[in-house]
Amino acid sequence: MKPLIPGNLLTTAMAILPHDQVEPALKLALSLDIPFWPQLPHVSFYEDMYVQAGERFPGIVLSPETAGIRFDSNKFSEELPELLEHWDDLAYFDISPQYSAVYHRFLELDLSRYPAIRGQLEGPISFGLKILDENDRPLIFNDEVRPLLLDFLARRVQAQLARLKAKHEHAFMFLDEPGLQFIFSSVCGYTDLRAREDLDRFLAQIDRPRGIHLCGNPDWEFLLNRDLDILSLDIYTNGEIFRCYGKAIRRFLDRGGVLAWGIIPTGFESFEQETPEKLIAYLETLWPDLTQAGIDREQLLAQSLLSPATCCLINPDREKTVAAAYAWLREISRVLRDRYRLP
């Protein structure tokens, strides 16, 4: 199946940046082959990815002074009618300027020279695990609210994707799902079987292309078997494990899936220990295992992107290391694209 997302080791990145000003962050995002609108929690509390996702969901209580976000059941009952009244208005579900000034600035730009553009929103599993109700119970365990949450966030993703596609025909979405790494723990209580049903219901409501990004280490076969067009991961940390899933990766690629290899660390200490040459060498140690699993190397490279390994908000030099990681990303892409003669 032909991929819906460009590959050939072009560059992109996950959205969260440590900048406290919009324009430098946007300039950095636009320096990659596939740009995105950055999420900037140092600019505003409302730029937090959970806060952005929860905009207009009934029952959400925000506390900007303490950077808090909660769920209140009584407030949910009061606000639910307004949501249902606007359910058929897709624009109602898009991100407002209050919740992301940079998103609307991104949409004002001429992005036609790029092969694709990308947006993102927090996924339902992570949102449901993170947001607690008045009894400190994660929202994911509320059987009355969870189905609506799935459908609500699907509408939000669909609204943003439609807006981005109106801007660029090759737009696609990342669903940020850091919480997926926890559901395979015996202490979580929200099972992978339930997550599979919920994710499949959620994805079925969203146009293509769409995929999942996470920096953790879940059951990779679980994700590779979902109906995704792209899977973005921290291969710098998880490469030794991910390389063992050759058969599942082959099936994913044969369905037209694209892998975003997060190879460059953005944390200050890890970054200081690496060089572009060492990172290229490490990446090239992973690919032979996949070719031994029956994956054609040309297909693998044609259906791969390169990205930083993670986001990072806590470096002592704020955005300096992250900007240097982006420079390495562009360099590594250039070297590998030349080496493998990619278009």
Instruction: State how beta strands 60-63 and 258-264 pair.
Output: unpaired
DSSP structure class, residue 37: P
Q: Which residues sit opposite 118 in a β-bridge?
A: 36, 172
pLDDT at 186: 62
pTM: 0.95
**Confidence at residue 184, expressed as pLDDT on a 0 to 100 scale:** 79
Give the residue among 178, 69, 85 at the shortest CA–CA distance from 123: 178
Mean pLDDT, 10 residues at a time, the chain of 343 residues: 94 95 97 98 95 98 95 98 98 97 96 98 96 96 96 98 98 95 78 92 97 92 96 96 96 98 95 97 95 94 97 90 97 98 95
Does the N-terminal peptide bond of residue 178 adopt cis geometry, omega within 30 degrees of 0? no
158 in Cβ contact with 204 (< 8 Å): no
SS3 93: helix
How many degrees, rounded to 5, is the angle at CA 249 between CA 170 and CA 233?
65
Q: Is the dihedral of CA 3, 229, 193, 144 positive or negative?
A: negative
Contact predicate 125/199, CB 8 Å: yes
Give the chain's domains with CATH numbers: 10-339 (3.20.20.210)
Q: Which residue has the tokens 């900037």?
A: 40
Q: Is 237 exposed, middle or buried (0-12, 13-18, 19+ CB in 10 A)?
A: middle
What percent of the residues of the chain are helix, what percent strand, and what percent coil, each to the nearest 5? 50, 15, 40
What is the distance of C-alpha 172 from the center of its chain? 11
Quote the CA–CA distance of 310 and 92 in Å, as a whole number. 31
Closest CA to 336 of 287, 282, 260, 280: 280
Cα separations in angstroms, 190 against 42, 129, 151, 185, 193:
32, 9, 18, 9, 8
